[in-house]
Copies of this chain bind each other. A is one copy, B any other.
Amino acid sequence: MKGSGKLPPAARAVVEGDRRALARAISAVENGDPSADAILSAIYPRTRSIPVVGFTGPLGVGKSSLINALVSLLRARGRTVAVIAVDPSSPFSGGSVLGDRIRFEGRADDDGVFFRSMASRGAAGGVAAATLEASRLLDAAGFDLVLVETVGSGQVDVAIREIASTSVVVLVPHLGDEVQTLKAGLFEIADVFCVNKSDLPGADLAKRDLAEFVALGSTEGRWSPPIVGTSTLETKGVDELWTAVEAHESYLDASGERRAGERRRLASEIVGLVRDRVGQELTARLEGDPSLRGLLDRVVARSLDPRAAADRLRPSARPSR
């Protein structure tokens, strides 16, 4: 490992494995605190692109129990694991995340597991960006991999999928109509399908349905999502699930997709950062700068429309046609 002598103290503490410093740094990222910038810059060269495995699926399919079982499996194999639970902070999201938090706290004595929930204030893109930066902190802190759980609210799932190296879609038998209406969307999301609670009747049928559906969309030479049945009640299939995740991670390396995906993610992250900065600067100027206030006055008075106002503020941003 590279020496950590030249790092600023907060970053050095993260790299040296100080769990409190890590938690503080993640909070700074989550809250958009300016102190996060220096830490993220300092730790970035020490990141290794560790696997980030996302788990999405409807509420009540047992994602948390599944992740808990995976953590036990991975710890038994000597891997260090960080879990990020993304809480959509919806006023209507229900209270399941609190329960997870309590469940994971039981591992407080094991330094090889780190649990963290991230609130998703603001846009779905915001929490995904914060989760990406938190994963990077966990990477620099030496964790072998990150598991990310979302609670099945669409926008956040899609955003998290974009930062995960492997996405596991968790379903249960007899989701019925719900699954039928979403099949197209599922394909874009899943690298691995998991039919959890496969001790329930109908599991084989659900797996067969999914297999037919996967076969329809499969392309020669491209990754085809495997379908794994699990049951956290009977602790069944959890190792097969992890084997499927590892197979996808190996595919990413062999096909060059890991490198391509990382490049794409970094490009989109940089664009997001520039967008945010432009937006913050402009918001401040629309309130503070008299000439921009005048522009806004004209829009309020209906003598200029919002798109024309945007053109005047950033005429060069519109690609010439």
Number of copies of chain A assembled together: 2
Quick one: which of A240-266 are within 8 Å of B by CB?
Answer: 259, 262-263, 266
Instruction: Tell which of B56, B92, B155 touches A120, judged by Cβ atoms closer than 8 Å.
Output: B155
Q: Are B299 and A91 in contact (CB under 8 A)?
A: no
Instruction: Tell which of B120, B156, B307 touches A40, judged by Cβ atoms closer than 8 Å.
Output: B307
In the bound assembly, the distance between CA atoms of A274 and B98 in angstroms comes to 38
Residues of B within 8 A of A37 (CB): 307
Majority secondary structure, A binding face: helix
CB distance from A59 to the nearest CB of B (A): 8
Q: Are A90 and B178 in contact (CB under 8 A)?
A: no
Known: A306-B44, A314-B278. A155 touches B266 (CB 8 A): no
Residues of B within 8 A of A156 (CB): 155
Binds B, one of A193-201, A207-215, A225-233, A281-289: A281-289
Q: Are B154 and A314 in contact (CB under 8 A)?
A: no
Task: Mark A271-298 against chain B: 1 for CB-CB distance below 8 A, else 0.
Answer: 1111111111111101100000000100
Residues of B within 8 A of A316 (CB): 281
Quick one: which of A296-321 are within 8 Å of B by CB?
Answer: 296, 299-300, 302-303, 305-310, 313-314, 316-319
